[in-house]
Amino acid sequence: MIVVDSSIIVAIIREESDAAIWVDVLDKTPHVFMSVISYVETNMVIAGRWSDARLGRVDATLKALHVRVVPVTLNQGNVALAAFLRFGRGRHSAGLNIGDCFAYALAKSRDLPLLFKGDDFAKTDIVPAWRS
């Protein structure tokens, strides 16, 4: 079981050079979760970089990869706030944004590793999915 960050889904939809690696990881993982905040962030990135017409690709990708989008709990909100205070943009070199904070919170609250792309989460205490 893992939590997936929006950076992975965006990389897959954009067909970035490492997309096949991420698809393989997600295909081989029995339970993959994504925060609804990360879901919204993913759609916002896709709409902002391309067009609203591509928004359907987010749902199609999540469905194909069996990613379960889960609601935010009050506990996760508190963990996300703590993540911002500790690792947030303007406070720490990790520079987590709101979407990052909720991906972090879901992973921490469920004691699961996080699948992400980039170096932001690597500067936190999150357990990366590729080391679990």
In terms of phi and psi (left: phi > 0; alpha: psi -120 to 50; beta: otherwise), the region of 27 is: alpha
Q: Which fold has domain 2-118?
A: Rossmann fold (3.40.50)
Q: Is the pLDDT of residue 96 over 90?
A: yes
pLDDT of residue 13: 94
E strands, the chain, where? 2-4, 32-35, 67-70, 114-115
pLDDT of residue 53: 67
Say whether 53 sits in a helix, a strand or coil.
Answer: helix
Lowest mean pLDDT among 17-26, 48-57, 83-92, 103-112: 48-57
Q: What is the mean pLDDT of residues 73-77?
A: 98
pTM over 0.85: yes
Q: Is the pLDDT of residue 61 over 90?
A: yes
The confidence band for 131, taking pLDDT boundaries of 50, 70 and 90, is low
Local structure of residue 122 (DSSP, 8 states): G
Q: What is the mean pLDDT of residues 66-91?
A: 95
| CB 93 within 8 Å of CB 123 | yes
Distances (CA, A) of 3 to 12, 53, 56, 91: 16, 27, 21, 24
